[in-house]
Structure 1
Amino acid sequence: MAGSGSYKGKCFCGAVELETTGVPAAMGFCHCSSCREWSAAPVNAFSLWPMDAVTIVKGSDDLASYQKSDNSIRRWCRACGGHVMTEHPRWGLTDVYAAVIPALPFRPMLHVNYQGSVLPMKDGLPKQRDFPLEFGGTGELVPE
């Protein structure tokens, strides 16, 4: 896991800036179709933080949001369209996309929603079929 401290991040154009403090609760890769479609990528690298550990320090008025489900509120910059984070109020966590925080030592712990993967990754990390039990999933692992 990354060391404790603070990390600064920003959207693509820099209109929105954020800061995280402390240690991420988890880091990994999500393979669900929702994340893939949202990010226009075959996989999404996430860093999950307690909600109070993420602060918008600039451009809060430039953040737009979309809530597809009770589990997530996706946030992006109105100026450039750059994705910034996804809030997960049900779990008390905020996913700040790993690419948004360039100085964060990204140390993935697991893959989630791997059953739907379109980009198999042979990295030795646990591959959750959906989510761990504590996040409402089956906790079932699938082979690489």
Structure 2
Amino acid sequence: MNTQPKYQGSCFCGAVTFTVTTQPLLMAYCHCESCRHWSAGPVSAFTLWKPETLHVTQGADNIDSYRKTPGSIRKWCRSCGGHLFTEHPSMGVTDVPAAVIPELKFEPALHVHYQETVHRMTDGLPKMKDLPAEAGGSGEQIRE
């Protein structure tokens, strides 16, 4: 009997649907310019998953992608432009915006790339200058 959590997500119009199973590896906020620009917001709320836990259940032929940097392949729906997920092959994770998984309770653990912030957030969570050391960053925290 499979007792792993399973969450459903979709693009803005619902043409592309997917599931993610288990719990995310991490939930956090990103303040980097690329994520802010991509999300059209001052901060991006993200969830990280092992790639094998994400399964497109409908509309796979409606997914398009863009690769601005070698480390990230951003995916969206061709019909509505709704964001779906970003693959990070070199890190072995897939980033799914928290907003496209409505059933998942977003519980962020930290902030990344906080030195680039345009929206200060006083929430008591650790603020990483870039990324944690185990993710290839400096591991340096900066003050809230």
> Structure 1 length normalisation: TM-score?
0.96
Give the RMSD, CA atoms, in angstroms.
1.1
Q: Deviations over 1:104-124 (max 9, x none)?
A: 011000000000000000000
Task: Show the counterpart of 2:87.
Answer: 87
Equivalent-residue separation in structure 2 for 1:134 and 1:24 (angstroms): 16
Q: Deviations over 1:27-70 (max 9, x none)?
A: 01000000001111000000000010111110011110001112
Which runs of no fewer than 5 residues in structure 1 stay unpaired?
none
Shift of 1:16: 0.5
Q: For this pair of structures, how many residues does the alignment match?
A: 142
Task: Show the counterpart of 1:127.
Answer: 127
Task: Show the counterpart of 2:46.
Answer: 46
Equivalent-residue separation in structure 1 for 2:23 and 2:43 (angstroms): 23
> Structure 2 length normalisation: TM-score?
0.96
Q: Alignment identity in percent?
A: 55
Equivalent-residue separation in structure 1 for 2:55 and 2:77 (angstroms): 15
After superposing on structure 2, the runs of 4+ consecutive aligned residues of structure 1 that deviate more than 4 Å are: none
Equivalent-residue separation in structure 1 for 2:49 and 2:70 (angstroms): 18
Task: Show the counterpart of 2:71.
Answer: 71
Q: Which amino acid aligns with 1:72?
A: S
Which runs of no fewer than 5 residues in structure 2 stay unpaired?
none
